[in-house]
Structure formats: C-alpha cells, structure tokens
Structure 1
Amino acid sequence: MTQHVFVRRVGIAVGIALVVLLITGLLGTAFAVLLRVLAALLIALPLRAGAEWLHRRTKLPNGLALAVVVLLVLGLLGAMGWLFSARIGEQASQMREQLPEAYRSFQERIAGTRWGEWLSQENLSYKKILGGGSEWLGRATGIFSTTIGVLADVYVVVFLALFIAIQPKLYRAGMVMLVPKAGRDRANEVLDKVSSTLIKWFLGQLFSMTMVGVLTALGLWALGMPLVGALALFAGLVTFIPNLGPLVAMVPAILLAFFNGGPQEALYIVLLYLGVQAVESNILTPLAQKSLISMPPALIFIAQLVIGSYAGILGLILATPIMAILIVLTKMLYVQDILGDNSVKV
C-alpha cells in the first residue's frame, strides 16, 4: 500500500467519524429542543382547553378567555406561594441544616452492620452524596450553572407555551400541511387524540401530586415528624416522576426519622411512604386517568431509563408523556392504519 493510498483512507475514515459526530450532535440538540417543546405543550394544552371551556360557558372571545385562565392560574400560584412560602421556606432551610447531621447519625447507627462497613469502605459521606465542591455531584451539577440553566429552560418553556396557547390552530395547520391531502383528516384525528391524552395525563398528575402531598402530610403529622410541610411538598412534587419519584421523596424523611427517633421511627416512615405510594398507584392514578391509554409500569420504567440516560433529568420527567404519545401513534398509525386492525381501541 502506497503512502498516498494510506493517507487517503485515513482521511476518509476521519471524515466519516466527523460526519457521524456531527449527526449525533445534531440529533442530540434536536431531541433536547423537542423535549422543551413537549414541556411547553403540557402547559399550553390545558390552558387552551380551559380557555375553550370558558368561551363555551360565557361566550367570551377566545383571546380574552385565555387571558382570564392565565391570570387565574398565576393568581392561584401566587396565592399558594404567599400562603406557604414563609412556613415552607423556613422548614426547607431547617431540613438542609439537619440532613447532614441526620446522615452522620444514620452512619453511626449502622456502623456495625455490613451496610455500614460498605459505606465506610466507599467513603460515602453526606458531602459526596448530596453535593459539595470537588465531589461527583458538585462537579456534575454546579449550583450556579444549574440554576441559570433551569431558569433559562423555564423562561423558554413558559413563553413557548403562551405562544402555542394563543395561536394553536396556526401551529397545528402547519403540521397538518406536511401530510399529503388524502391523509390530513386522519392527521387531525391523531393530533386530537394526542392532545386529549396529554391534557388528561397532565391533569391526572396534578391530582395525584396534590393527594400524595396531602396524605404524606397527614401521615407525617400523625407520626409526630418535624418539617411536615417541607417533606410533604417535596413528596408531592417528585410524584410527577413515576416509579423513581417516591423513592427519592423517602430518603430525607428516613434520614430525619433516624436522627430524631431511631430505627423504629424510620421503619414507620418507610411503611407510610410505601402505603401512600400504594394508594397513589392503585387508586389515585387509575381514578384520575381512567380514560387514558393503558401504560404498563415496566414500559414506563424502561422509557425512563432510556430517555433519562440520553436527555438527563428533563428526559426522566417527560418519559411518561413521551411513551403515551408513542403508544397513541403506534396504535392509530401502525396497528389501525397499516395493519388494518380496528379492534384495537385508543
């Protein structure tokens, strides 16, 4: 092989590698954008549905009805923030102060067990687990950069949601226009089903989150736990992430129970959270989303693993609605249209 041929082949290989990297980067960027669009849709669709309901009931113009709905939502959020900010903020501050000591207490209590030996060998200090300067979580997140990134994402998602809510027909018509004329009626049917599925899922999640927060607060209060408000609010918020959210919510409560009481109190906390999770999974969620498509828990968990590993925390949060959309599209476009099996209902 001459040197000229060798150099040419190396150049071709490097060129292919660069093209692959470019395509991968573009796909990753496109997927990140699509996740933010989906997050905006989850806000815009309920707002638009509320505005249309108000328009039908009061005959207000669509624009004015949407403005009323947005103002009502902002007013409700502001009232909740005003009512709970001082108390919850104080409790959250206390929880941040107590958790390091609670974790050290937990380590001391299990020091003589195999788990304690493993924790000592791995040097899993509280600082390593929950953050700090040069540790893995501190390096991975970076408090300042993460805060700026989250605020930027919130800004983009909220304003994109408002644009979509104000003129939904404009964006919908643009999507349908990309479909051949013969299939545009079917495309509208599919978009209607996707929209209704996302609205029902989102409202069902809000209901489940609220009830989990209330049930957790009642249980913690009955057990005499401190920082009931902060722990219950945290439990309700992370319920938005199926499967993994309840496990995350349980950790600070268990540590505080160890610190303030002991193993028996921690066991009561575990039983409480497992009980609330059982009620949420078997009663609240089916009740709130009874008209939705069926999504097996294992399928949701797989989607969380795949999308979360690829897109981070936002992918983990949005894995369930993404799976819901994929199931709707599969049933309507593949099973019904391509396979011709209309016995499958969506």
Structure 2
Amino acid sequence: MRDPATRRELKKAVVWFGVGGAVALLVLLIQPLLIIFAGLVFASMLEGGVRLLGKVLPIGRGWRLLIVVLLTVAFIVVTVYQTGAGIAIQFAQLQATLLIQAERLSVWASGQGIMPGMADLKDIMQQALGSVGRLTSWVGTALGALTTIFMILVIGLFVAIEPRIYEQGLQWMVPTDFRGEFALTFDRMSRQLRRLLAGRLLGMAIEGVMTWIALMIAGVPMAMVLGIITGMLAFIPNVGAIVSGSLMIAVGFSAGLHTGIAAIVVYVLIQTFDGYVVIPMVARRTVELPPALTLSMQILASTLFGVLGLMLADPMTAMIKVALERNSQRTAEEDEEAGADTGG
C-alpha cells in the first residue's frame, strides 16, 4: 500500500466501483427520484403562478402563493363537485366502448385476412391502449396513484414555499469551485422549466376546452370526459395527440358512421389549430424543443421509467438542453480567454 502506483490503481478501482454502485442505486431508486422530480415540476408550476400574479398584485410572495394554492384547490373541488358523478359514469362508458370497438375491429380484421385470429388483434389493442386503461383506472380508484399524487403535491408545495433553502442545499453538495457555475445553470434551467410548463398548461386548457365544445356540438358521446383526457394528454407532446385522437374516433364511430366522421373532422381541425396557432404562439415565449428529439426522449423515458417517465420526458429534455447549452457556452468562453491570453 505504500507504493504510489498501487495507491493510484486502488483509487481508480474505487472510482469505478463507485460509478457502478451509483448506477445500481439509481436503478433501484428511480421511481422515488421520478416522484421527487415531479414534485419539482409542480413547484415550478406554482412558482410560475406566483410570478404571474405578482405582475398584478403588489403583495408579498407568501400571500401570492397562498392565493394560487387556494385557487387551484377551489377549481379542483368545484370541478369534481359539479361534474364528478357524470365524469365517473362517462369514464366507465368509455372503457366499455373501447373494448367493444376493439372487438369489432378484430372481427373485421379477421374477416379481411389481416389477422389470423381475433385474439391477436385484441391483444395488440390491449397493449396499445394499456396506458389509457391505466389512466382510467388511475382516475378511478388506484390507491397507489393517489398516494403518488399526494406525495408529488406535498413535495412541490414545500419547495414552492421556500425555494431558496432547497437551492442552497443543492449548492452545498457541489464543490466550492463549481458553485457559481452551478447556480447560474440552475437558474437558467428553472427559468426555462417555468416557461415550458406555462406553455404546456396554456395549450392543455385551450385544447381541452375546444375539444369538449366541438365534440359536444358534433354530437359525439362523452364529450366532457374526452375533453378532459385530451387536455391532460396535451401535456405529453406527440404521443398525447395520437392517443386522444384514437379515443375520440373510437367513441365517435361507436355512435354511428356520421358521428365517427364528425369526430375525425374535429380531431383534424383541433390538431391543425394547435399545430399552426397555439404551438407557434407558445414556442415564441417558451423553450422550443425539436419534435424528433422530444419523441425520442419520450420513447426512452417510457421504456425505462414507465408512464411517469413518459409524462416527465419533456421537462427532463428541456433541462438537459439548457445544461448542455450552458456547457457549450462556458467552453467557448474559456477558449476565447485562452486565445486572448495566447495572442497577448
């Protein structure tokens, strides 16, 4: 052990074992880490509401946060109280309708020779709509999902109450020489995350309300619950639009051919309006992510982390993008300083 070469190799071995242990620990704790990250995302939503309210109400931050929380709770309570029973019935009808439509599609596919049997297509439909099935059951009675949501809300609320304490705590975990750079990068990531979430919430509200009204005018059954699902799935770019559109069209054709065609028209019009009006309007004021990059991250996150990873893929991508941009900027600044010193 007194040999310097032995100590150097031992340090390398310890580093490699530490990296391996960190990866194994990350795999074991990925679900709690995702819950914590979701809590931070919710805290960013609250912080965005606090900052927006501060533009019209010159009062303390604590009072503004209290107003935002009370308004959020009041909106949820009033919505559930006014439409809770109807939504529960429509969710049950939606699940039954999707099963019937899947069976009809399997019979048609078997008759056309596309599938060798009814069971094959039915299994495919169950896998494709697995996330939707989990969504409907989650909204209904899943105790585990409710516990997860409660923990996310509590973490987000605590972080939103005193964000500086947690930010300083993270800085204490970083070496002293890098704390300034970490604080700058963290501030930029937080700002971009607030902008991204503000744009997502605006798009969710617009798309959900428009879908509800348009489907109700077109006579599509369960317009309210389809509008709610469309608004919720709008938080997930690309994938959410495909899933909500599939549900909308399936429910439309369950009521007849004309209603199904009307559902298709509504879906195309809303997605066109969202793609050419809402998304560009939001992207000008928020972080803009390339669609291929977002979809790739959604595939990776959903494969590795499940439904929660799919929902958080967009915020994670935005934060990683900001961190990489800051790293490139810092490297360019260091190269410029090195070039100036060499030239001098």
TM-score, with structure 1 as normaliser: 0.78
Question: CA–CA distance in 2 between the matches of 1:128 and 1:184?
Answer: 49
The alignment partner of 1:240 has SS state of coil
1:342–1:155 distance in 2 versus 1, CA, 3 Å = farther
% identical equivalent positions = 24
Which residue of structure 2 lines up, in the alignment, with residue 177 of structure 1?
172
After TM superposition, give the deviation of residue 119 of structure 1 in Å: 5.3
Q: Tell me if structure 2 keeps the 8 A contact 1:208–1:284.
A: yes
Instruction: Please list every run of 5 or more consecutive structure 2 residues that lacks an aligned counterpart in the other structure.
Output: 1-16, 337-344
The alignment partner of 1:339 has SS state of helix
Question: Is 1:203 aligned to residue 198 of structure 2?
Answer: yes
1:118–1:222 distance in 2 versus 1, CA, 3 Å = farther
Which residue of structure 2 lines up, in the alignment, with residue 336 of structure 1?
329
Superposition pairs of residues 271-310 of structure 1, within 5 angstroms: 271-310=265-304
The alignment partner of 2:122 has SS state of coil
After TM superposition, give the deviation of residue 110 of structure 1 in Å: 4.7
Question: Is 1:248 aligned to residue 243 of structure 2?
Answer: yes
Question: CA–CA distance in 1 between the matches of 2:116 and 2:245?
Answer: 21
Which residue of structure 2 lines up, in the alignment, with residue 124 of structure 1?
122
The alignment partner of 1:225 has SS state of coil
Instruction: Please list every run of 5 or more consecutive structure 1 residues that lacks an aligned counterpart in the other structure.
Output: 1-17
1:60–1:247 distance in 2 versus 1, CA, 3 Å = same
Q: Tell me if structure 1 keeps the 8 A contact 2:46–2:65.
A: yes
1:59–1:223 distance in 2 versus 1, CA, 3 Å = closer
Question: CA–CA distance in 1 between the matches of 2:83 and 2:124?
Answer: 28
Q: Tell me if structure 2 keeps the 8 A contact 1:241–1:316.
A: yes
TM-score, with structure 2 as normaliser: 0.79
Task: Tell me how many residue pairs correspond in the alignment.
Answer: 315
RMSD of Structure 2 on Structure 1 (CA) = 3.4
After TM superposition, give the deviation of residue 161 of structure 1 in Å: 0.8
Residue 317 (structure 2) aligned to one of 310, 320, 323: 323
After TM superposition, give the deviation of residue 324 of structure 1 in Å: 0.2
Q: Deviations over 1:106-130 (max 9, x none)?
A: 3444553244x34526252699558
Question: CA–CA distance in 1 between the matches of 2:124 and 2:55?
Answer: 55
Q: Deviations over 1:13-53 (max 9, x none)?
A: xxxxx999965541213433332222111211232343355
After TM superposition, give the deviation of residue 298 of structure 1 in Å: 0.4
1:177–1:51 distance in 2 versus 1, CA, 3 Å = same
Which residue of structure 1 lines up, in the alignment, with residue 3 of structure 2?
none
Which residue of structure 2 lines up, in the alignment, with residue 66 of structure 1?
65
Q: Tell me if structure 1 keeps the 8 A contact 2:254–2:260.
A: no
Which residue of structure 2 lines up, in the alignment, with residue 261 of structure 1?
256
Q: Tell me if structure 2 keeps the 8 A contact 1:105–1:258.
A: no
Kindly provide the amino acid, as one letter, of the partner of residue 148 in structure 2.
D
Question: CA–CA distance in 1 between the matches of 2:236 and 2:117?
Answer: 28
